[in-house]
């Protein structure tokens, strides 16, 4: 975890090999050469299939206080009839929420005040890809 002025920079890593999410405070760290070390299992990820997927903390929390990271899936808290889902992405220097229309068009929009009150983390694309399936 790095404190960059007023914003805390944190990461998490998805291990495709172990099918498990690791958080910075739960046993992984970066070195100066860009390698990721998973201290919990004494494994070093380098080149190849075992490369982890690194996701950054947005600096935002959902209404329940859960931290929002890249690749999280957000749903609308509250009215059951609203079934919108968004994926958190980093696009052109900003964290955005990405949605897909019925026609398959992809939209990226910045977070706003509505999002801070109503969007909650319901999963992430690595552990819960089924949440994005169309019904």
Tell me the CATH number at 107. Answer: 2.30.30.290
Name the DSSP class of 63. Answer: T
Strand pairing partners for 12?
23, 55
Q: Does 131 map to a domain?
A: no
In 3D, which of 54, 57, 71 has the Cα closest to residue 9?
A: 57
Q: Does 132 map to a domain?
A: no
Containing structural domain, residue 16: 2-126
Binning pLDDT at 50, 70 and 90, where does residue 27 land?
A: low
Ramachandran bin of 104, using left for φ above 0, alpha for ψ from -120 to 50, beta for the remaining angles: left
Can you tell me the mean pLDDT for 11-33? 74
Number of domains forming the structure of the chain: 1
pTM of the model: 0.78
Average pLDDT, rounded, for the chain = 79
Q: Does 77 map to a domain?
A: yes
Does residue 43 register a pLDDT over 70? no
Q: pLDDT exceeding 90 applies to what percent of the chain?
A: 39
Provide the pLDDT for residue 77: 75
Higher pLDDT, 90 or 102: 90
Can you tell me the mean pLDDT for 115-130? 91
Q: Does 74 map to a domain?
A: yes
Binning pLDDT at 50, 70 and 90, where does residue 50 land?
A: low
Q: Does 105 map to a domain?
A: yes
Q: Does 51 map to a domain?
A: yes
Burial class (CB in 10 A: 0-12, 13-18, 19+), 32: exposed
């Amino acid at each position: 975890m790095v404190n960059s002025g007023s914003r805390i920079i944190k990461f998490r890593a998805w291990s495709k090999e172990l099918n498990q999410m690791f958080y910075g405070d739960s046993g992984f760290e970066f070195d100066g050469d860009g390698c990721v070390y998973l201290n919990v299992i004494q494994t070093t990820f380098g080149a190849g299939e075992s490369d982890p997927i690194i996701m950054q903390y947005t600096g935002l929390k959902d209404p329940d206080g859960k931290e929002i990271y890249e690749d999280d899936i957000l749903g609308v808290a509250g009215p059951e009839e609203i079934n919108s889902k968004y994926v958190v992405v980093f696009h052109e220097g900003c964290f955005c929420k990405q949605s897909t229309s019925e026609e398959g068009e992809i939209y990226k929009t910045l977070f706003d005040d509505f999002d801070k009150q109503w969007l909650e983390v319901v999963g992430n694309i690595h552990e819960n890809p089924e949440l994005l399936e169309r019904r």
